[in-house]
C-alpha cells in the first residue's frame, strides 16, 4: 500500500477539530497525525514531525492563519488546505491565503444533512490528496491516489447527454472555455493578466467552493484588461468578457442566436466536483463546436479530460498545460492520454498562443 498522507489539523474549535479528524480518518489513504488549537501549538508539533499536509483555519487566537501561512511558506513550505467559513468578509481573506501559497481552499463541512455532509467529506479528502500531490510534484510523483469508494462518480451524462451528431456550426462567435483545479487560481491569474481586451468571451470553471468564486472573480477583474465576473444564470458571453462558474453550481454554455449565454444549475457532483469542467466542455462541444477553443490547466484527477476530447472531436482546438508548469499534472495528463489535446504549452505560452490565433 502507498504511504498514508499525514495531516495536521489547525483550528481553534474543538468541535471542528474532532469533525475534521473523523472525516479525514474515514479515508484509508489519510492519517491525522495531530491537531492544534492555534499556530503556536502547531509549530511545536511540526518541529517534532513534519506533516504532508496542514489544514488551516483563518481566524484563530495568538496568531491568525494568514500570518502562520506566510511563515510556513517562507521557512518550511508545506502544502496547506485552508478551511474557512463562508462569510463575505472571510472570502477576501481566504483569497489572500491563495496568494500566500495555500494549495486549496474549501468551506467548512456542512453537518445539517447527510447529502451535504457526504459531499463535504468528498471535497475535503480530495483537497488533502490534491495538496499532497502538489508537494510530491516538486520531488517524486507517485501514482495519483485512487478515488474514494464512498459515493457514485457521475459523468457529465447526468447533466447533459452527449450529442450523437457531429456538431456543424459555422456562423457563431468564437469563445474560449477553460478548466482548472489545484494550482489553477494562480495559473488563471497569470493567463488573464496577459490577455488584451479584444479577446473572445471566456467561460471558466475553477474548482472552488460556494462563496469564494465571487471574490476570485473580483480579484481577477482588478488585474485583467477583460471584464471578469462570477456567472449568473442567463449571462451573455461576449468579446472581452470572462465568466467564472459560481461555486457549488455547474455552468453550461448555450446558444443565443449567433452568440452565447450560460446556464447555471444545481445537480449532482460530476467527477466529484460541482462545478465540473466536463459539464462546461461538453456543452461547448455541442453548442459551439469548431468555434470553441478548450484549455485545460493544472489540477488533480481527470475532470475535463473527456470533455476536452469531445471538444476536439467537435472540431474545436484544444490546449493542455504542460507538466513543467503544472502544480499537479493530473487533469492535463489524462486529457493527453485520451488523445484530446492538440497543443501542450507552458502556462506562460498559452495567452500569446491565443492572442496570435484570434487577433
Positions marked active-site: 181, 207, 303
Edge-to-edge strand ranges of the sheet holding 30-36: 30-36, 5-10, 53-56, 80-84, 104-107
The rounded distance, in Å, linking the Cα atoms of 245 and 103 is 20
Grid look-up 495536521 returns 8
Helix (H, G, I), strand (E, B) or coil at 2: coil
CA distances from 129 to 60, 216, 345 (A): 25, 23, 25
- The answer to whether the CB of 84 falls within 8 A of the CB of 11 is no
Helix (H, G, I), strand (E, B) or coil at 269: coil
Give me the DSSP letters along 42-107.
Answer: HHHHHHH---SEEEE-SS-SSS-HHHHHHHHHHHS---EEEEE---HHHHHHHHHHHHTT-SEEEE
Grid look-up 495528463 returns 333
| DSSP β-bridge partners for residue 146 | none
Amino acid at each position: 500500500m502507498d504511504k498514508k498522507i499525514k495531516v495536521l489539523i489547525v483550528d481553534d474549535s474543538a468541535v471542528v477539530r474532532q469533525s475534521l479528524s473523523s472525516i479525514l480518518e474515514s479515508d484509508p489513504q489519510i492519517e491525522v497525525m495531530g491537531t492544534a488549537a492555534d499556530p503556536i501549538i502547531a509549530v511545536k508539533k511540526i518541529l517534532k514531525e513534519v506533516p504532508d499536509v496542514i489544514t488551516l483555519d483563518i481566524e484563530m487566537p495568538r496568531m491568525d492563519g494568514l500570518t502562520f501561512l506566510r511563515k510556513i511558506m517562507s521557512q518550511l513550505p508545506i502544502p496547506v488546505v485552508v478551511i474557512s467559513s463562508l462569510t463575505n468578509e472571510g472570502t477576501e481573506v481566504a483569497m489572500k491565503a491563495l496568494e500566500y501559497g495555500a494549495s486549496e481552499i474549501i468551506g467548512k463541512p456542512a453537518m445539517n444533512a447527510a447529502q451535504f455532509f457526504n459531499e463535504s467529506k468528498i471535497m475535503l479528502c480530495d483537497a488533502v490528496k490534491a495538496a499532497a500531490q502538489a508537494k510530491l510534484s516538486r520531488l517524486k510523483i507517485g501514482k495519483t491516489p485512487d478515488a474514494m469508494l464512498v459515493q457514485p462518480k457521475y459523468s457529465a451524462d447526468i447533466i447533459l447527454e452527449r450529442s450523437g451528431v457531429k456538431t456543424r456550426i459555422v456562423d457563431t462567435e468564437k469563445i474560449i472555455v477553460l478548466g482548472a483545479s489545484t494550482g489553477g487560481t494562480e495559473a488563471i491569474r497569470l493567463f488573464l493578466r496577459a490577455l488584451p481586451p479584444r479577446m473572445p468571451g471566456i467561460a471558466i470553471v475553477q474548482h472552488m467552493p460556494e462563496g469564494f468564486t465571487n471574490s476570485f472573480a473580483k480579484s481577477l477583474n482588478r488585474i485583467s484588461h477583460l471584464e471578469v465576473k462570477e456567472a449568473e444564470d442567463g449571462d451573455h458571453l461576449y468579446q472581452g468578457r470572462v465568466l467564472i462558474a459560481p461555486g457549488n453550481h455547474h455552468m453550461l454554455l448555450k446558444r443565443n442566436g449567433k452568440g452565447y449565454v450560460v446556464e447555471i444549475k444545481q445537480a449532482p457532483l460530476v467527477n466529484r466536483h460541482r462545478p465540473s469542467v466536463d459539464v462546461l466542455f461538453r456543452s461547448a462541444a455541442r453548442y459551439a463546436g469548431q468555434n470553441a477553443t478548450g484549455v485545460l490547466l493544472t489540477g488533480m484527477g481527470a475532470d475535463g479530460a473527456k470533455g476536452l476530447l469531445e471538444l476536439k472531436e467537435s472540431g474545436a482546438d484544444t490546449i493542455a498545460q504542460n507538466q513543467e508548469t503544472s502544480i499537479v499534472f493530473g487533469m492535463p495528463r489524462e486529457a493527453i492520454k485520451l488523445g484530446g489535446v492538440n497543443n501542450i504549452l507552458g502556462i506562460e505560452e498559452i495567452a500569446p498562443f491565443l492572442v496570435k490565433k484570434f487577433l
